[in-house]
Amino acid sequence: MPTTPDTSKTMKLERYNSYLRKLHSTKLLNASSKFLFRVTLLIALVLILFFTITYPPLSDNSHPYRRHQHHSFLSTSLFSGSSLVGGASWEKQVRHSSTPRRLNGFSVLVTGAVGFIGSHCSLALKKRGDGVLGLDNFNDYYDPSLKRARQNLLSKHQIFIVEGDLNDDALLTKLFDVVPFTHILHLAAQAGVRYAMQNPQSYVRSNIAGFVNLLEVAKAANPQPAIVWASSSSVYGLNTENPFSERDRTDQPASLYAATKKAGEEIAHTYNHIYGLSLTGLRFFTVYGPWGRPDMAYFFFTKDILQGKPIDIYKTSDQKEVARDFTYIDDVVKGCLGALDTAEKSTGSGGKKKGPAQLRVYNLGNTSPVPVGRLVSILEGLLGTKAKKHVITMPRNGDVPFTHANVTLAYKDFGYKPTTDLASGLRKFVKWYVNYFGMEPTKSIKGTQRADGSS
C-alpha cells in the first residue's frame, strides 16, 4: 500500500528552509552594507583632504593666484629644519626679528643674510635699532659651515634667518604676508667670476630668475618696499676708462657673472618704470675683511701661505701687474646703510604705479687700486712667512686686469667715504682668520680682536 506523504512535516521543512534563506540574505545584506559604508567613508575622507589642500578657505584669501600660492607653499615649503615654516611659532620669530627697536626704524628683509656682506650689514642694521629678517639658501658654493657660523653669530643678536630660496615664490609671498617690509637689502647672488665657466645655470637661476621673482613679490606688496641691491664692478667689463664712473659704458661684460649683474640693472630699470619700485644698485669693488669668502684671493692666499703651498699671481699679456680696488667691509656696510637711508619710498601699490620712482646706481669702492703683488707682500709681513709665488699670465677666465672706483656720486648723495687702507684692513682680517681657525698668531698680528669681529 502506497505511503501517504506527511503534509504537515513537509510544510514545516519548507518554512525552515525559507527562514534559513532569509537569514543568509540578511547577513549578506548587512555585510555588503558595512562594506559599502566603509568604502564610502574612505572616499569621503580622500575627497575632503583633496579639496582642503587644493581649495583653502576663502577667508584665507579668495584670489585664485593666492590660492595657488598657498597650495604651493604647503606642498614645497612646509618644513624647515626643526621649525614649521608658516606655523605660529615661526611667524612669531619672523615678526619679532623684523620689528624695529628705534623710532621710525626700518623693517628690512636682507637676502643672502649669512653671506659675507649680508651678515655684516644685518648686524649693523640691528645694532642701530632696525628690524632685520634674513633669507638665505645656504648653498655649497663654498663651505656652508662658515655660513652656519655666521648664522650663529646673527642669532646671538636676535636676527632670525629663514632658510629658503629666492625662486620659492610661495615662501616670499608668505614672508610679505607676515611682515610689511619697508626695505629690502638684496645681497643674495651666485658670486664668483671663474665659477661661471663651470656652472653657468646657477648664475642665471640666482642672479636673474631669483631677482625677478623677488621683484614680482615686491611689486605686488602693499606698501611696496624700497629696494637696495648688489650689482657689481664687474659690469664695467673691458672698460678702459680710469677710474670707473657710473656714466661709463657697461655693455662689454668679460664674464657670465658680469652679464647677469648687468642684466639685473636692466631688469631693475624695467620694474622701476612699469611698477614704481624704488631701486638702488650698488656696484661693489673687491670687498674683503673678517668673515670673508674663501674663494677670494686674499682669503685663499692666506690659507696657502700658511700651509706652504704656491700661489698664482697674475700678470697681463704685456707683463703689467693685475690691480684691484680692494674695499674693506666696514666701508661697504656704511655705503649700504647710506643707500638705504636715502632710498625714497616706492610709488606703486599692489602692482600698480602711481608716479615716477627713484632709480639709482652707485660705485662703492676704495678709490685706491693696489697691485696683487703688494697684497701678497702685506700678507707675508702679517703672517711672518714668505709666499711661494708662481707668476703667470692671466688666463681668459673672465677676470679683468684692473678695477678703480670713482665714488664721487655716492659721496655727494649719502656721504660715502672709505677710510680703511689695505694694510689696516688685512691686519683685521688676518687677526680674525687665525682666531677663527684656531691658529697661533704671529707677533705682527697679535691684538685683541675676537672671532666675532669686535675689538
8 Å CB contact between 181 and 109 = yes
φ, ψ of residue 364 to 5 degrees: the values are -125, 95
For residue 77, the model assigns a pLDDT of 36
pLDDT tens digit sequence for 296-355? 999 999 999 999 999 999 998 888 899 999 999 999 999 999 999 999 999 998 888 999
C-alpha 287/C-alpha 366 separation (Å) is 9
φ, ψ of residue 360 to 5 degrees: the values are -140, 155
Quick check: helix, strand or coil at residue 244? strand
Which of 129, 275, 285, 121 lies closest to 188, judged by CA? 121
Give the chain's domains with CATH numbers: 189-286+327-366+402-419 (3.40.50.720)
For residue 245, the model assigns a pLDDT of 96
Ranges of H-type helices in 307-421: 329-341, 372-383, 408-414
Residue 165: count other Cβ atoms within 10 Å of its Cβ: 20
pLDDT tens digit sequence for 214-241? 999 999 999 999 999 999 999 999 888 9
Ranges of H-type helices in 276-389: 297-306, 329-341, 372-383
Which of 336, 286, 412, 414 lies closest to 130, judged by CA? 336
In the structure, what pLDDT confidence band is assigned to residue 10 with cuts at 50, 70 and 90? low
- The residues that are catalytic are 257
φ, ψ of residue 244 to 5 degrees: the values are -75, 130
C-alpha 186/C-alpha 118 separation (Å) is 9
C-alpha 392/C-alpha 329 separation (Å) is 29
Write the CB contacts of 261 (distance below 8 Å, at least 6 apart in sequence).
189, 207, 231, 232, 234, 235
C-alpha 116/C-alpha 127 separation (Å) is 17
Percent of the chain beyond pLDDT 70?
78
For the record, the C-alpha cell of 228 comes out as 637696495
CA 13: distance to chain centroid?
86
pLDDT tens digit sequence for 34-59? 554 454 445 544 444 443 333 333 33
C-alpha 332/C-alpha 328 separation (Å) is 7
Q: Which amino acid is at 363?
A: N
Question: Does 74 have pLDDT greater than 70?
Answer: no
pLDDT tens digit sequence for 229-287? 999 999 999 888 999 999 999 999 999 999 999 999 999 999 999 999 999 999 999 99
8 Å CB contact between 260 and 207 = yes
- Selected residue with higher pLDDT from 46 and 195: 195
